[in-house]
Amino acid sequence: MHLLSRFKAFFAKAPLLLCVLLLVLFSMHIAWQSYQWFNFKAPASGALSEHSPSASLNATAISALFENTQPHPQQVQSTVTDLTLSGIFVHDDPAKSSALIAHSGTTHRYTSGQDLADGTRIKAIYRDHVELERRGRMEFLRFPKAAFNYDVEKEQEALDQRVREMEQLRAQMEAASNQYEDPTLTNTAMESE
């Protein structure tokens, strides 16, 4: 009987003992991981064998994995078609961006992936240009450049004319406000007599 009572006492404390054992094992595991972390040393440069895959990678091959693969607009040829970019609607989701493109006098709204005339396809839409693919070649379509004809004397004359118009308008408004003030003064002067 004495043995039976000892087993009952042991099994009553078994969950507590099991929790303590798991806690000790978990602490030892964390200590071992910390030890390995703090004692980590990178292999020496000569430690790689020439047959290992890491030795055959060079810096340019690795950097190609992380570089932007989209061609920069300056690297892409401008289009020479009769397409004219009229407007761009940029959305956070590139698939929802659209462009207004005029072709043969008619303007239509296009999204990425749509086909234009003569086998031209829209690849991407950006805020200042549209990338096109025509016959396997990347091209871009920009907004038409406005002619830069800035005449300083002409602009100064237009500004002076606007100033004169504003002065005339101010004089008219003052005259109108004085006209409305005079009848009230006249009425009060008549009542006082």
At residue 60, the pLDDT reads: 54
Domains of the chain: 73-142 (2.30.30.830)
Quickly count: other Cβ atoms within 10 Å of residue 140's Cβ: 22
CB 127 within 8 A of CB 142: no
Q: Which of 141, 129, 124, 111 is closest to 69 using CA atoms? A: 124
Q: Which are the contacts of 130, defined by CB distance < 8 A and separation ≥ 6? A: 85, 88, 99, 101, 122, 124, 140, 141
CB 107 within 8 A of CB 101: yes
**Kind and range of the H or E element at 84?**
strand 83-89
At residue 52, the pLDDT reads: 46
The model scores a pTM over 0.75:
no
Give mean pLDDT in consecutive 10-residue pieces for the chain, a chain of 193 residues.
76 85 93 82 47 49 49 52 84 87 86 84 89 87 71 83 93 85 55 54
